[in-house]
Structure 1
């Protein structure tokens, strides 16, 4: 079949990411003898530089690892709420939602420490070796993508009047970074150079000791001190008011990234691995569990209707049951008994209700705001149906519906990694003047109602939309994949996975590029994860390449279909390995013209 690009095939190594410079930097590490984990760390730090509107060092990153000689693991780089970040404290400030920007929304930064643990435990390169690519692009410059320019222009007034430290980096001389010009972030380059110097001085020539020293600098050294100073600065946020944050030196010193087992689901010989319900990852597994034994024809109106309605049920459960502040009945949510009951709710017509289930007979609980938007009584203006589909949607005050980056790598030894870096966007918080990057805003995904799984709770992870994936075939890791897209991530990934699993292979391997290129869609028929937390019952956005008869039939069934651009839905990356032959493959999203796969 025709695809925008070939599915790459080779035996040495494969990389797919959302930016060509990150992909090629990772490939350079592989060519130099590094493994998939070394390459992932190098690419992750490059993404901080070249996609600063989508991620940063003080953001978050969940990773899934499939070592060639071990079990799949989750490495959690999602920081927790600071000790002072209680729902009661935020309500005492007169808030009913956590602001979408500013220091009140900042969790303990998680990305940096997760990358360091990955390098320490699974990598082979030194800190200086993996950071050289990011330092080069920050110091010597890189040509920014158009979305960086558009994001900066959208928040120009905020930067010049309130967030002046951000203006110094992103509006040098009053001009936004422009495509075709070189954009530099010397403050960020200086931060990494100082970090390397202090780590080498403390750790000597020992690679692991250097990494541990770098972690200490981040948690208690000059970086920690600068982050705490920034959190204490009164900052204008989405409320229009200046607030200080809750992040302290003790919060930074007391947190570490950590490993855990993935949540898994078996489907037709495949096993899909996801992060736990502190992410939205299990919602993909629930969507698979809701599928009937006999599926409609791929791409038909029946097929799209089935997946949209199943997504609504899974996301309603996400809203009622997912979070880190209470026990989540994951086993019950994925059980056949429960999903048989839920599957029966899918009718011929589009549902306009938010319908969480009752696993093990438990009563679902929703935040007051979620109940209000589900009933159509929200006081906030509704978000457009396609908001946040692939790139952040930024308001004049800096509010964003958010997005992220993604990378997948497999090396010649069979090591595989899938990572979804996000948070710490240039539009999330003012740039820390001493460091060249801002704090994140992940706490905006929590609720201020007490007693919910996702209630803002000190020391507890906010539920995140970040959700990388690894799939096994007959128990052996064969594919790593993921996408940016906020609430769309596990919608687009479900569609991609089914396109791979249900369609014929090409050239003896998985049709990764064909599955990425296939027309995609999403629904907003559940409360969004980003401020102002809206939903749009019945809304489905499809690409214009979707068959017109399918669109018409969906409308006849009660779906409110918006037809978007021909290449507007999905930002997927994927790599794969055939365990029989060792053949590696990779593909990347053509939408947005910046994601690329490389390999040989």
Structure 2
């Protein structure tokens, strides 16, 4: 077990909050201090993160959450992932002259799901008022917050593009024509007014629940939806395709959608039960990776050694290959999860792991799905070139690292939240006039090829990469964890979880250990490329480990030390002791508690 960590593992008995920004974690803790529970804390933290990290998430984005309610005594999934609009058909997009949905602009927009997801969590699980959870976000939008260096760099890199192509974004992000300097106070008064108006309209009604419902109406059936609809009726903007396009989202799409609650998908592993979203997210990949690794002696491996890295990478290659063929919105496609998570199927998959790195994309064969597998492989053969994009990006305009945010909360009652908000980042599409925020680009997860689980269709949820985690230990709700990172999210969570389970590393130590991920499979983000055998790995690893992995055939890209992953985690012991930790990488994430 590691003796030294970059930070102490936070411990207490009252409550813990871990998020990807120190101010947001403090805001969440404030909600616990004034009598709120874990759900209230998560909602307030989420809204503040939209203000603090606008390059990573926003009000027009999405938010899947895993929640454990002590009162309900079960884990549930809140699906704040909006589906494709009614006008989002393959025929329409092809008529626009594109063969792949761009990673930005208006064609890439689906129904914004984050706001309704947060409101559902607040109404059905929380106990604080709408005002109490919104006021911190309004404060930082109105009075300012210290600009992160990465926010400053992102805006600076996009300044000319915003000026010439997205003038509403230029007005918001470069007030006075200048990008905000790192650590300078940045304000978004228009967003502050949007939330203030939502609150004003909500408080015209009597009662907590009625006010939350009024806020939902204001966003999806009121002035917010109206502003979005008015803008999209005429706006035609440049996107990554190199052409200008109009969007297809309408006020009717927004008015007819609600966030939902569903059962999680779970898998038992060495006394733990891990809960994830269904196959409309990538969460089952982590479960299948565990199913493959279950038959290997992971505990005997050095958690920072080459055998561990090789085994985890090869298991993930197989699980992610299956994701490409079989995953999609289960409301539109039958996903054979009973096979994909079965012992017999994964014994066959495990047998494919040899002493050297696999270079082929090798999805398994599920009876009855052979045609779907063949179609997917033919399509990937056409579109997958060299190089990889594993996070939402406008790399043709600006360097961009990271793609979302994450929150873990546990309160003294034992309520737990793990939520990964994303989308609606400032690079994704132009600011909607009068609202102070932009829309998402999640539709880029769809293919414009008929017959796939991930084929574009109205009402279908995109196969998101967002994948929060909750875990039970010996049947007792015990841990919330997750990370930003697009396709890397489960790739970083997996070694963290294995090191905690098998090597008894505490949360902070497991997070601090060097990280890696593979770029072997097609990325979920435009332009959907892959690097066969590719592994990105931190320079924290000794040279001997890197040399060993190269000798096995892994094609390494070695990044600077402390440059991969933004993991956070929170845990509750059987006696009620609470623990929390957050990555030191990027020097932003913090865990707080008492």
Whole-Å separation in 2 of the counterparts to 1:518 and 1:49? 30
Shift of 1:250: 1.1
- The answer to whether 1:358 aligns with 2:365 is yes
Deviations 1:261-314 (A, max 9, x none): 000000010000000000000000010000124235132212211111111000
Partner of 2:463: 463
Partner of 1:315: 320
Shift of 1:393: 4.4
Deviations 1:504-535 (A, max 9, x none): 35xxxxx0000000111011000000000010
Partner of 1:40: 42
Deviations 1:319-363 (A, max 9, x none): 000011311111110000100111111111111111111234531
Partner of 1:347: 354
Whole-Å separation in 2 of the counterparts to 1:360 and 1:525? 25
Q: Is the 8 A contact 1:323 1:463 kept in 2?
A: yes
Q: Is the 8 A contact 1:401 1:531 kept in 2?
A: no
User: When the two structures are superposed, what TM-score results if normalisation uses the length of structure 1?
Assistant: 0.95
Shift of 1:87: 1.4
Partner of 1:508: none
Greater mean alpha carbon deviation, residues 290-299 or residues 436-445? 290-299
In 2 relative to 1, CA 327–191 (structure 1 residues): closer, same or farther, beyond 3 Å?
same
Partner of 2:424: 424
Extract unaligned runs of 5+ from structure 1.
506-510
**1:169-180 alignment, distance < 5 Å:** 169-180=172-183
Shift of 1:433: 1.6
Deviations 1:107-146 (A, max 9, x none): 0000000000000001111111100000000000000111
In 2 relative to 1, CA 372–537 (structure 1 residues): closer, same or farther, beyond 3 Å?
farther
In 2 relative to 1, CA 235–516 (structure 1 residues): closer, same or farther, beyond 3 Å?
same
Whole-Å separation in 2 of the counterparts to 1:536 and 1:255? 38
Q: Is the 8 A contact 1:367 1:447 kept in 2?
A: no
Whole-Å separation in 1 of the counterparts to 2:483 and 2:552? 29
Structure 2 residue corresponding to 1:334, chosen from 320, 329, 341 = 341
In 2 relative to 1, CA 380–555 (structure 1 residues): closer, same or farther, beyond 3 Å?
closer
Deviations 1:181-203 (A, max 9, x none): 110000000000001001111x2
Structure 2 residue corresponding to 1:90, chosen from 87, 90, 93 = 93
Tell me the C-alpha RMSD between the 2 structures. Answer: 1.7
In 2 relative to 1, CA 378–117 (structure 1 residues): closer, same or farther, beyond 3 Å?
closer
Whole-Å separation in 2 of the counterparts to 1:439 and 1:312? 32
In 2 relative to 1, CA 143–261 (structure 1 residues): closer, same or farther, beyond 3 Å?
same
Partner of 2:63: 61
Q: Is the 8 A contact 1:53 1:148 kept in 2?
A: yes
Structure 2 residue corresponding to 1:573, chosen from 551, 568, 573 = 568
Partner of 1:528: 523
Deviations 1:230-258 (A, max 9, x none): 33311111111111111111100110000
Q: Is the 8 A contact 2:20 2:590 kept in 1?
A: yes
Whole-Å separation in 2 of the counterparts to 1:310 and 1:364? 24
Deviations 1:173-218 (A, max 9, x none): 11112222110000000000001001111x22x0000000110111
Whole-Å separation in 1 of the counterparts to 2:228 and 2:168? 14
How many residues are treated as equivalent by the alignment? 585
Deviations 1:548-600 (A, max 9, x none): 22111111111111111110111101001012x10001000100000000000
Whole-Å separation in 1 of the counterparts to 2:592 and 2:318? 37
Q: Is the 8 A contact 1:238 1:399 kept in 2?
A: no
